[in-house]
Chain A
Amino acid sequence: MQQTNGFMKALKCRECAREYPLGATHVCEYDFGPLEVVYDYASISQSLTRSAIESRPKTMWRYRELLPVAKEPTVGFQVGYTPLVKADRLAKRLGIRELWIKNDTVNYPTLSFKDRVVSVALSRARELGFTTVACASTGNLANSVAANAAAAGLRAYVFIPADLEQGKIVNSLVYGAEVIGIKGHYDEVNRLCAEIAGKYGWAFVNVNMRPYYAEGSKSMGFEIMEQLGWKIPRHTVVCMASGSLLTKIHKSYQEFTKLGLVDSTDYKIHGAQATGCNPITAAQKAGLDFFKPVKPNTIAKSLAIGTPADGFYALKVMKETGGASEDVTDDEIREGIRLLAECEGIFAETAGGVTVGVAKKLIASGKIPAKDSAVLCVTGNGLKTLDAVVGHVGATREIRPSLREFETLLSADQATAAKA
């Protein structure tokens, strides 16, 4: 087993603990519970030490033992190790002692955290012998599958809601992927893909490859801990679509603790959604451990999943860690985007506006105490969702190429500044 499966032992149902072989399969035959990779932590602890990690290239693959591939990765070797930015100006604006931005707006190669999950899913898909890869996507995943498949010489089919932002559509087409726009919202795309997935022998990264795919998100958490000087942050704010990223950040903290790479400390993980698609935060705020599906209506299209597959587990993580959650309106999302851009020079997509907007609310309500330190996970780049902010971020002022006109404009500005 050791030679063929690396540090993986089996797939295991999260509900009933039945085990399955390490193939392209994602649900338990008995209760439809999600399957998860089981690792050989005893072997991992032999090779994964702080100094081993520090000696490796600065990519997500420096934590390779905790990522589910049998051999060396073959897709996306340069992904990850994005900056953890100390956000002093934003901290001041939000009224908290210390704030960090985990900046996946500059993840390689497609500017979102999805490159992490895709590099794992496609590396594993190749190991399992697939030549065509596919996904159901709200946009970022489609971009990442299209780009990484192109670089790896794999054929790609990506399925998206037909009304996505132009930027996200072009960012899939340019790589030569087959882009299928579905006339419906993401939950409907998902339903169709669930029916297609088994049929053609394709590696659907978030369907039959999901147990491997989802593990890639842990690398964001591993990096946060290492970049903080081998520490778990006191507070982490994570945006939620299916809720998978939040649960995997939690798992990353647990794994580093288990392996002795960080000290065991108290931490809270908080969830963020848009008010127009808030099944998980609505349940969390009502104290429920199950959610009611919703029909999404929000500018945060990358988070618009009304039937979140990991919603149940996300609620559990928030409950266990003592985390809170909030949701924000479209206007608050745009305000969040502007705050992050104006304070830190980071242009996030709508999901980042959700995270910042929610952090603002949680700090204001004391759920994240002002004396503490927090990390905000910012997952995607604003250049992909320009549609959402055009007309809301001011406009160019046009003048003729004349010094007199410029001086008139400038003295008006100075007069305004003097009044303020």
Chain B
Amino acid sequence: MPVKVRIPTPLRKLTHEEELVEVKAGTIGAAIAELQSRYPGIKERLIDESGEVRRFVNVYVNEEDIRFLQNQDTAIKDGDEISIIPAIAGG
């Protein structure tokens, strides 16, 4: 069972409107590289010039923000679910 990645609306043009795609990578960083090889251009939307996840991009593994884990080194395994979500205003 591979890892599922939920694609947010602003990136679906790149994934041909796919909402849910699957990857086999072992870390978040590798998952982003794998997405890039299938959907060219997606990496630069998520990662800034210095190689960090962009300021307004939040990446979650099974509902936990990767900034509370090991950022792009966070390990992922079969059955995990990754969500990529833009930051939202307060309420």
Contact = CB atoms under 8 A, between A and B. Distances in A.
Interface of A: 15, 26-34, 114, 135-138, 140-142, 186-188, 190-191, 193-195, 197-198, 206-207, 210, 213-214, 241-245, 290, 292-293, 295, 305, 307-310, 312
Contacts of A210: 88-89
Interface string B45-64: 10010000011111010010
Contacts of B79: none
Which A-B residue pairs are the 4 nearest by beta carbons? A242-B90, A309-B87, A141-B91, A137-B91
Contacts, number: 99
A206 B89 CA distance: 6
**Max chain A CB contacts within 10 Å: which of B58, B67, B87?**
B87
Given A29-B45, A34-B56, A136 B65 contact: no
B74 interface: no
B67 A188 contact: no
Nearest to A159: B91
Contacts of B8: 194-195, 198
A214 B13 contact: no
Contacts of A206: 88-91
A188 B9 contact: no
A75 to B, nearest CB: 18
Interface of B: 6, 8-11, 13, 45, 48, 54-58, 60, 63, 65, 67-68, 83, 85-91
B56 A27 contact: yes
A290 B68 CA distance: 15
A31 B86 contact: no
Residue among B45, B55, B67 facing the most chain A CB atoms (10 A cut-off)? B55
B89 A310 contact: yes
A191 B45 contact: no
Nearest to B88: A190
B45 A186 contact: no
